[in-house]
Amino acid sequence: MKEAVAILCAGGPAPGINTVISSVTKIFNKNGFNVLGLNGGYKSLFSEEPSFEFLDFEYADQIYSRGGSALKMSRYKPKDDEFKVDFFKKNNVKLLVTIGGDDTASTANRLGKFLAKEKMDVKSIHVPKTIDNDLPLPEGTPTFGYHSAKEEGVRLSTTIYEDARTSGNWFVVSAMGREAGHLAFGIGTACHYPMIVIPEMFNKTKMTFDKITRMVVSSMVKR
């Protein structure tokens, strides 16, 4: 059986996923590997019957510029006792390419240690995908998802800013990010918003809805 490369997407969708899947497929197909695309992320990988498909050049060309993810995704985060080698043995997988954020990366790291302990020669490559931009990458290391989200956020927020200026109304724009304020800060500074509230401002105090409300009202009064 030919050696195989498996591609897994986890977490939430972000622009650029299909470009990565397409590029990985073409490179490893060209070098004689089977390329397996897993549907359902880690949840499928460790199920009784993992859902996957063989990817080829034609498939890669079709999805290259498509939005979303051609491979179904899942936010499921398996525990160590759920790991098993069945899929890797049965399909002669020698490399697992994971596309995702911090949870996906940490799970791939734990899985790699498990496979090594089981004497399985399976390498791992993680492609950082994060709209929140919350992966602890080396200085200047790019990711995808964040920049596209910021560009779209700036486009929408600029329109909102003009609406506010023209009508005399106030708007509060909310951006995703969980504990990271990179996206909100990037959008706010690009649009010259008078106030930007991010989680990092509350690292020494508890963040409450009342505090945020008071900050917003204060900004309105001062303007």
Structure tokens at 48: 């009784």
Tell me the torsion sign for CA atoms 135, 140, 143, 144.
Answer: positive
Per the CB < 8 A criterion, the answer to whether 164 and 171 are in contact is yes
Nearest to 135 by CA among 99, 178, 105: 105
Per the CB < 8 A criterion, the answer to whether 180 and 130 are in contact is no
Nearest to 195 by CA among 170, 177, 176: 170
Measured distance CA(143)–CA(27) in Å, rounded:
20
* Contacting residues for 62 by C-beta, under 8 A, at least 6 apart: none
As annotated, the active-site residues are 132
Measured distance CA(116)–CA(113) in Å, rounded:
5
Write the Ramachandran bin of 141: left for phi over 0, alpha for psi from -120 to 50, otherwise beta: beta
